[in-house]
Amino acid sequence: MTAATFDAVVVGAGPAGSTAALVLARGGARVALVDKATFGRDKACGDLVGPRALALLASLGLTPPEGRRVGEMVVVGPTGRRVVLPACAGLTYPDHGMAIPRLRFDAWLREEALAAGAIAVTGRVASSSDGVVALDDGRRLATDAVVGADGANSGVGQEAGLVDPSAVLWGFAQRTYVEQVVERPSIVLWDDGPRRGFPGYGWVFPGADGTANIGLGLGLRANRATASRAATQFDEFCRHLRGLGLLTAPADGRRLGGWLKMGMVGTVAARGRTFLVGDAAGLVNPLQGEGIAPAMASAALAATAILTAPGTAATHYRQLLAAGPGGFAAATAPLHHATIDGSATRVAMLGRALTLPVLRRAIAPVWALTWNDLVDGARPGVATSISRVALAAGRLATRRSTVSTRLRRDLAEG
């Protein structure tokens, strides 16, 4: 069968893939946007489109679909103590995010990519090598660049030898929707036994149309064997939410689970003509699991590299990542690794310490900036300065750790 020819083939039409396809198409590239699913389709996610994602959309001249504006966030400690993390506008991003169901957001962004000139291809990728993407129905797509936006378990990345599963910081999360109005998003740190901290967190986020998004996620490091805890302990966690007064409606709807790959560790983002973006590249915040904004940002960087640096695009893309999200990951991925590696008792103690009354008001502004990766582009001030120092200290303190060493190598060596 004769192969159709494209300048780039993007595999996966989630936020990362659609962003890459849109930027490439606007730059004059002939782009195929491949996805195995028909749209709309749902994804396990907290559905929060953060400030950086909104800023990126604005820079592309796009207005997102209707959603619910989300500002400050509440962190609830294991004992029920609460810390309000303020929402402040930066120099480069707004003071809010938006709660938009993935069913709606992904379909809208894909349509924007198609309107920009990307060509939709529905099919499952069977193989990707030597500049040819083969679909399982026999169709072949020849291309100069393959962009893997096919999620944490990226087949494109695995086939290109860009992923070392034994080094990845894996996570897994499960979520459901309930019929309940929630005013502010809450992150819930939970002890699932006496002084035994759950190695992750849960959430109660505002949703659209009078619904709430309820979820539970955990970090796993390289061992994925215990991912089922997000499902088997979900009902127990919901009982905890009821005790806190955060959940009043039945949580008996459809539940979805999904893998997370965090901090870019164990993944080479690009080599040769293959580029990984979003979850496929591990572009998930290692501290709080945000994926949409870093996915879209990485996709825009990859598309820019492909358009502006033909022949050296892979190296250029890795350099862009190192100068941007790589700096945040260098400080936070080792912290994630150490926390998940720690005992359940230490995790419980950390959750209590962070929500102590004597600390919470003082640390809340710094926590909001650092935890949500909003330091770059923040307005000058005391909290911003402290956050910068904290991240720099984290990078310095963990520079010789296995995680930091691996991250630097993956970003530098394709």
Report pLDDT digits (tens) over 161-188: 999 989 999 999 999 999 999 989 999 9
- Residue 298 maps to which CATH number? 3.50.50.60
- Identify whether 359 is part of a domain: no
Tell me the DSSP string of 200-229.
EEEEEEE-STT-EEEEEEEEEET--TTTTH
Report pLDDT digits (tens) over 100-151: 999 999 999 999 999 999 999 999 999 998 889 999 999 999 999 999 999 9
Residues 38 and 97 in one domain: yes
- Identify whether 367 is part of a domain: no
- CA dihedral (130, 15, 395, 314) in degrees, to 10, reads 20
Residues 87 and 161 in one domain: yes
Last residue within a domain, chosen from 225, 243, 259: 259
Give the total number of structural domains in the chain: 2
Q: For residues 343 and 224, what is the distance between their CA atoms, to the nearest angstrom?
A: 18
Residues 242 and 271 in one domain: no
Residues 301 and 177 in one domain: no
Domain span holding position 192: 169-259
Using an 8 Å Cβ cutoff, are 365 and 383 in contact?
yes
Query: Which of 57, 4, 56 lies closest to 33 in space, CA to CA?
Result: 4
Report the pLDDT averaged over residues 11-40.
Answer: 95
- Identify whether 357 is part of a domain: no
Report pLDDT digits (tens) over 257-304: 999 999 999 999 999 999 999 999 999 999 999 999 999 999 999 999
What is the bridge-based pairing of β-strands 200-206 and 191-193?
A: unpaired
Last residue within a domain, chosen from 295, 328, 361: 328
The whole-number pLDDT of residue 1 equals 60
- Identify whether 134 is part of a domain: yes
Residues 213 and 307 in one domain: no
- Residue 190 maps to which CATH number? 3.30.9.10
Residues 231 and 317 in one domain: no
Q: Who's near 94: CB < 8 A, 6+ residues apart?
A: 51, 54, 55
Categorize the per-residue pLDDT at 16 as very low, low, confident or very high, splitting at 50, 70 and 90: very high
Report pLDDT digits (tens) over 365-377: 999 999 999 999 9
Categorize the per-residue pLDDT at 209 as very low, low, confident or very high, splitting at 50, 70 and 90: confident
Half-sphere exposure of 186 (CA within 13 A, CB side): 21
Residues 21 and 37 in one domain: yes
Q: Is the pLDDT of residue 414 over 70?
A: no
Q: Is the pLDDT of residue 189 over 80?
A: yes
Two tokens, residue 55: 């800023």
Q: Is the pLDDT of residue 413 over 80?
A: no
Report the pLDDT averaged over residues 242-253.
Answer: 94
Residues 52 and 17 in one domain: yes
- CA dihedral (155, 161, 162, 163) in degrees, to 10, reads 70
Residues 73 and 211 in one domain: no
Tell me the DSSP string of 321-337.
HHHTHHHHHHHHHHHHH
Report the pLDDT averaged over residues 224-241.
Answer: 94
- Identify whether 237 is part of a domain: yes
- Identify whether 350 is part of a domain: no
- Identify whether 46 is part of a domain: yes
Residues 109 and 240 in one domain: no
Last residue within a domain, chosen from 200, 232, 259: 259
Report pLDDT digits (tens) over 305-315: 999 998 899 99
Report the pLDDT averaged over residues 69-89.
Answer: 95
- Identify whether 379 is part of a domain: no
What is the bridge-based pairing of β-strands 73-76 and 186-188?
A: parallel
Residues 136 and 173 in one domain: no
Report pLDDT digits (tens) over 325-360: 999 999 999 988 888 777 788 888 888 888 888 887
State the chain's mean pLDDT as an integer.
Answer: 93
Report the pLDDT averaged over residues 42-66.
Answer: 94
